[in-house]
Chain A
């Protein structure tokens, strides 16, 4: 069975500052992908960034980057230069080919 844990129900950051959201996971599979999804108040699920487990290099997408620690089964999301539009619920998710398993989510508030 796969599990994903986000231990921070809420986080806040000042506009233009950097924030890191934590995620740990567990899987017995050797081949898997990890994702961060953003869910604004509209509740649409928007893919932010993905990481292939076989890649050692951390993924980056503009202001978003991850710190993937495979041995520790940790997958954190760093948001640099935070903007008001980054305010949302963020979900960490894991798949080894079929279903996505999601964490509980972290509600991010961006303060002006």
Chain B
């Protein structure tokens, strides 16, 4: 069964550094999402992406964040200058046409 994959599973970075989180959505899916979950809190929407552009973003998704689909398979989330409060689990999700989003296993980002 096809699944969403994410790399790395765990990323440790120093404050101020740039990080790129990578996702490979399910191949025939058209809509892509990033969510984050700070430890012990609920999952929060960051951004949605469709037809090679951002379709919606939350107030969390400020100028420090960007997304890209550099080729036909990868979907990336870049954080330009990480802060301590960016430490969280980041989930990628994708969907075809229906309402059902399929989640990847997540990348745990630790900013020190």
Contacts and interface: CB of A to CB of B under 8 A. Distances in A.
Interface of A: 33, 35, 37, 42-47, 50, 52, 91, 93, 95, 97-105
Contacts, number: 53
Contacts of A103: 42
B99 A44 contact: no
Contacts of B37: 43
Contacts of B106: 43-45
Highest count of chain A CB atoms <10 Å: which of B43, B89, B99, B105? B99
Contacts of A35: 100
Contacts of A105: 42
B55 interface: yes
Given A43-B89, A43-B105, A98-B48, 6 more contacts: A33-B100, A44-B103, A45-B43, A95-B101, A99-B56, A100-B101
Nearest to A32: B99
Interface size class of B (residues with CB under 8 A): 20 to 34
B56 A47 contact: no
A91 B43 contact: yes
A100 B35 contact: yes
A4 to B, nearest CB: 9
B48 A99 contact: yes
B75 interface: no
